Structure 1
Amino acid sequence: MNTLRKKLIQLDGKGYKALKSIQGHYKDDLISLHIDYIQGDPFASPSRIRVIIPLEKTDIDAGQYSSHYRKIAAENFLAMEIANQIRQTPSPVKGTGKSGLVYIDAPGQAIIERTAVKMMKDVIEIRLSIGLPARGRSILGKQAEKLLCDYVPSIIEKSFTSYSRDLLQKYITLADDQETIREYIRENNIVSFVGSGAILPRESGVSQRPMKGEEVITFQSPKEYEVTIPLPYGRTVTGMGIPAGITIIVGGGFHGKSTLLQGIERGVYNHKLGDGREYVITDNTAMKIRSEDGRSVHQVDISPFISDLPFGKPTNIFSTEDASGSTSQATNIMEAIEMETRLLLIDEDTSATNFMIRDGRMQKLVKKEKEPITPFIDRVEQLYSEKGVSSILVIGGSGDYFEVADHVIMMDEYAPYDRTSEAKEISDEITKLRFKESVGTFSDVHNRKLERYIINKKLGQKEKIDSKSLSTILIGREQLQLQGLEQLIDQSQTRAIANIIKFLAKEKNGPKVMKEAIDHLYKQIQENGLDILSPYKGQHPGDLALPRKNEVAAALNRIRY
């Protein structure tokens, strides 16, 4: 580290590119500092460094984190601690552009596998982005010395000496609980568990932090769906267990239907302590389905829902550059089935009306032979009986769904009530106007090829691909829009998806079927970690988070051909 200090002082006032000379490995009594990448100028993407601290210099017991889910919880906790230290102790260094920036890719509300902190057998590696200081394009050597040799080591030292041991243990205990609940619902034919006492409302439409205040109503399970799950250390948790099958959530406007569904859809991830949704756990293959006007579709079999299009256009290998609401929703379901989802989540508000239902009067006026759409209401039972795919639907306007529902939950002032018996009685009492439209069984899943040549063509000679936001990836010059993927929650996941797309495209000897290619890659990630997705040779990928296979497939499916 003394060598680094001398180098930086000597560089004071020189041109910014001279900073490249400090790349390398430096060490002091506590840490090792690896400077992997130096930015080209103070306005460019920040420099990348790794700080490595031996486990023996900490009081962290590596034996506690032998399980994968515990390790993820601990890594997320440490990333949050380091981020808190950075916020509490602002960088003393100022200058042009990104000068003085110190950043770690800390988690939001969800606990997912990330690359910001990596716990290994003997060491902990912290990956940081930093802005090396300059005035204009001249190096501020003494400021850089203060940043790299004093500020960064002090942040790391404070993080590992002042963190709450009790809080870390609570995160580990919570990870044990969440994994136990996931195992329980898999073994007991439950698709989602919502713990009593959960806080489902969020503080705003653009925030995932929990709503606070006396007006917040905590979730309480109806007795009819109440299950008590045994947890480690002799504890239990009680809440609503939604059984496999067809469940509809009903109620008046603004009574909490969509809030409950949003909690359920985010339950595919574990949530951190204090989020309010710590004990909201959903089958991790669940896919939120919506209509998505204008999306690209390539060779998807949507014939179970849409057939006999005018002019003989086939729907068993359906392609379009501009899908309608109904064709996009049918596509989203069939693509989810291709990725072996066990649960569909649908909100009537974001669905195509003609895809969800055709009422009796419309059936009489527009005969079936003139209507290519078989509505979801007439297929939802088959999805479960033939494919084992359950559905949870928010329904506000169509009581015809009472007939096909196994379970009816009514939200009344944010409180859930079982109304299955009443709904079935109403369904029997009121004369049925519509008849079921069905055209046989579901076809076998059409496993499509991964069209590597199309992706490589879009990447171009420079092989450029990058995430621009949570819902946008730039492939060459073309934007890939992911707004329809409501369970994509972190831009670091989007960055990982961008890297995965390129990785799969360049994998010449990889599986040819898309699902098999994704499964094969995730097996490699499981064995070798997310670092294999790094687009940087010799640099840490400290800003990636693991997306689900579902979202990777969904992104590939939206590439325009």
Structure 2
Amino acid sequence: MQRLKTMLNSIDHKGYPAYKGLKGSYDFGDYRLGIDKVQGDPFASPSRISLVVPQSTHAIPKEFYEQKHRRIAVEDHLLRLVCRESEPFNFKAKGSGKSGLIAVSRPGQEIVERSACHINAKNGELTVRMSVGFPANGRSINARELGKIFFRFIPEIVHHACCYANIDAQKLQRAADLADDQRYIREQMAEEGYIAFIANGSVLPRENGVSQRPMKKAVPFASPESMEVTWNLPHKGMIQGMGIKKGVTLIVGGGYHGKSTLLQTLERAVYPHIAGDGREYVAMEQSAVKIRSEDGRSIYHKDISPFIRNLPTGRDTTDFSSEDASGSTSQAANVVEAVENGAGVLLIDEDTSATNFMIRDELMEKVVAAGEEPIIPFIKRVKGLYEQKQVSTILVAGSCGAFFHIADTILQMESYRPKEITQFAKETAKAYPLNDTSMAAEYPDSVEQKIFIPKQSLEVGGREHRRAVGKYSGDVASA
């Protein structure tokens, strides 16, 4: 600590680049301060520091971080505490540009593993990474203000957010217990053949389109009796909710009745959520992928032949590339890539899909001969995806009833509540048979799962410096 004070005094009022000499590690007794990256000037991206707190200082019991799922939950809880404790000190140190900024990665509603807060399960070290704007007057060093950050503000944050004796132990325990319950739900799902679970009483709608916080006075979720499952969680005890089995699940209903909200909930449920979110007891198979059309996306050497064949130009769709793919072609590539990457579930909303990729009705097939249409619609492949590749699909549809024929489970959303209508829908669909060309076909074996090997450029110390020169002015060039 004294060494850092001496260095700060020696560079005070010098040019801003003199801050570069501070890079290194400093012992503060209860923790180590690491200055990992120093910004080039007060208006640039802030400097990065790390705080390494030994187990002897934070004294968090090992039971909280020995198991990975509990460790991640505890790290998430501690990071939220660091956010709260650092907020009063943000920009309290004065200066120009970003001087005095104190910030950490701000977590959302999901509980995910982050580098901003990490506990080493072997030695118990707690590492917190922060961004700090080193103070300056113009472009001259203001060491006095930086001293406030290092010797007053940071110790307060560590003391109140990273020491077990000073945090609410009951809240920390509840966070770890919730992680146990969430893992148990996923274990039961895998054991009993479910790909999704939504607990009764869950709050699915969000307060607005840009917030993930729960909507107030929302209709709580209630499972249809035919799909209700009951599990005894380790800490919460008995819980009931709707389980969705593997296979093809169709979600239908009128507009504004909650179809897309349900799918969006499942999309985000690949991650566990914090207590009070409304979705903390909602779980989705973690390999699930949301699929949509993306007009204009780039496709590079991709085998899209399961869905696109016999192009008028004679192009080979087993090795297809495009810098500006159409809606149907982009969605075909998205499905193929998901299967290659080991997705166990595809989540698809009719609203964000290319219509000609999803379905072709009987009249269109009679007008446009099959030999003139290169697109094999998704309805012909969805059953084969599950039977040949074990890839389930959850599909939201509000205008096309053809999927009734191939769905294993059919849900209808009515006033934000689901009801199972599989038998009724199947009986009704018999009056509207699919023609032979629309019946489900096998998914070809040509598309295999891929394992990606990271390039050396992703490793520390082996980076390749590159610059983008624009879409129409050339390729990406090495610097």
User: Number of paired residues?
Assistant: 464
Within 5 A, what are the aligned runs for 1:460-479?
Answer: 463-464=464-465, 476-477=468-469
Q: Is the 8 A contact 2:380 2:441 kept in 1?
A: no
User: 1:367 matched to which residue of 2?
Assistant: 369
Q: Is the 8 A contact 2:135 2:146 kept in 1?
A: yes
User: 1:41 matched to which residue of 2?
Assistant: 41
- Residues 328 and 28 (structure 1 numbering): CA distance in 2 closer, same or farther, change over 3 Å? closer
CA displacement, residues 500-554 of structure 1 (integer Å, 9 cap, x when unaligned): xxxxx9xxxxxxxxxxxxxxxxxxxxxxxxxxxxxxxxxxxxxxxxxxxxxxxxx
What is the letter of the counterpart of residue 327 of structure 1? T
Q: Is the 8 A contact 2:346 2:392 kept in 1?
A: yes
What is the letter of the counterpart of residue 411 of structure 1? M
User: 2:65 matched to which residue of 1?
Assistant: 65
Alignment TM-score, normalising by the size of structure 1: 0.78
User: 2:148 matched to which residue of 1?
Assistant: 146
CA displacement, residues 307-343 of structure 1 (integer Å, 9 cap, x when unaligned): 1221322222222222111111111111111112111
User: 1:132 matched to which residue of 2?
Assistant: 134
Query: What secondary structure, in the 3-state scheme, does the structure 2 residue paired with 1:110 have?
Result: coil
Q: Give the superposition deviation at 1:5.
A: 2.5
Q: Is the 8 A contact 2:342 2:449 kept in 1?
A: no
Q: Distance in 1 between matches of 2:19 and 2:30?
A: 24
Query: What secondary structure, in the 3-state scheme, does the structure 2 residue paired with 1:72 have?
Result: helix
What is the letter of the counterpart of residue 53 of structure 1? V
Q: Is the 8 A contact 1:229 1:236 kept in 2?
A: yes
Instruction: Tell me which of 201, 204, 207 is aligned to 1:200.
Output: 204
User: 1:327 matched to which residue of 2?
Assistant: 329
Q: Give the superposition deviation at 1:378.
A: 1.5
RCO comparison, higher one (Cα < 8 Å, 6+): 1
Q: Distance in 2 between matches of 1:93 and 1:234?
A: 45
User: 1:343 matched to which residue of 2?
Assistant: 345
Query: What secondary structure, in the 3-state scheme, does the structure 1 residue paired with 2:438 have?
Result: coil
Q: Give the superposition deviation at 1:10.
A: 3.6
Query: What secondary structure, in the 3-state scheme, does the structure 2 residue paired with 1:185 have?
Result: helix
User: 2:13 matched to which residue of 1?
Assistant: 13
Q: Give the superposition deviation at 1:449.
A: 9.3
Residues 1:185 and 2:189 are matched in the alignment: yes
- Residues 165 and 189 (structure 1 numbering): CA distance in 2 closer, same or farther, change over 3 Å? same
Within 5 A, what are the aligned runs for 1:495-514?
Answer: none
User: 1:98 matched to which residue of 2?
Assistant: 98
Q: Distance in 2 between matches of 1:59 and 1:448?
A: 43
User: 2:475 matched to which residue of 1?
Assistant: none
Q: Is the 8 A contact 2:341 2:450 kept in 1?
A: no
User: 1:292 matched to which residue of 2?
Assistant: 294
Within 5 A, what are the aligned runs for 1:39-438?
Answer: 39-120=39-120, 121-159=123-161, 160=163, 161-212=165-216, 214=217, 216-233=218-235, 235-430=237-432, 432=434, 435-436=437-438
Q: Distance in 1 between matches of 2:322 and 2:14?
A: 56
What is the letter of the counterpart of residue 100 of structure 1? G
Q: Give the superposition deviation at 1:440.
A: 5.4
What is the letter of the counterpart of residue 37 of structure 2? Y
- Residues 451 and 313 (structure 1 numbering): CA distance in 2 closer, same or farther, change over 3 Å? farther
Q: Is the 8 A contact 1:202 1:208 kept in 2?
A: yes
User: 1:529 matched to which residue of 2?
Assistant: none
What is the letter of the counterpart of residue 282 of structure 2? V
Q: Is the 8 A contact 1:194 1:239 kept in 2?
A: yes
What is the letter of the counterpart of residue 318 of structure 1? F
Q: Is the 8 A contact 1:301 1:446 kept in 2?
A: no
- Residues 263 and 375 (structure 1 numbering): CA distance in 2 closer, same or farther, change over 3 Å? same
- Residues 440 and 72 (structure 1 numbering): CA distance in 2 closer, same or farther, change over 3 Å? closer
Query: What secondary structure, in the 3-state scheme, does the structure 2 residue paired with 1:310 have?
Result: coil
Q: Distance in 1 between matches of 2:158 and 2:89?
A: 12
Q: Give the superposition deviation at 1:450.
A: 7.0
Query: What secondary structure, in the 3-state scheme, does the structure 2 residue paired with 1:111 have?
Result: coil
Q: Is the 8 A contact 1:94 1:133 kept in 2?
A: yes
Q: Give the superposition deviation at 1:380.
A: 1.1
What is the letter of the counterpart of residue 192 of structure 2? N
- Residues 440 and 90 (structure 1 numbering): CA distance in 2 closer, same or farther, change over 3 Å? closer
CA displacement, residues 403-435 of structure 1 (integer Å, 9 cap, x when unaligned): 111111111111111111211121013465675
Provide the identity percentage: 45
Q: Distance in 1 between matches of 2:289 and 2:226?
A: 26
Q: Distance in 1 between matches of 2:374 and 2:439?
A: 11
What is the letter of the counterpart of residue 112 of structure 2? I
Q: Distance in 1 between matches of 2:265 and 2:50?
A: 36
Q: Is the 8 A contact 1:76 1:106 kept in 2?
A: no
Between 297-306 and 245-254, report the one with greater CA deviation: 297-306
Q: Is the 8 A contact 1:463 1:476 kept in 2?
A: no
Alignment TM-score, normalising by the size of structure 2: 0.91
Unaligned runs of 5+ in 1: 466-474, 480-504, 506-561
Q: Give the superposition deviation at 1:23.
A: 2.6
Query: What secondary structure, in the 3-state scheme, does the structure 1 residue paired with 2:290 have?
Result: strand
CA displacement, residues 430-453 of structure 1 (integer Å, 9 cap, x when unaligned): 465675256655133246797999
Query: What secondary structure, in the 3-state scheme, does the structure 2 residue paired with 1:44 have?
Result: coil
Q: Distance in 2 between matches of 1:234 and 1:449?
A: 38
Q: Is the 8 A contact 1:374 1:437 kept in 2?
A: no
Between 30-39 and 415-424, report the one with greater CA deviation: 30-39
Q: Is the 8 A contact 1:220 1:239 kept in 2?
A: yes
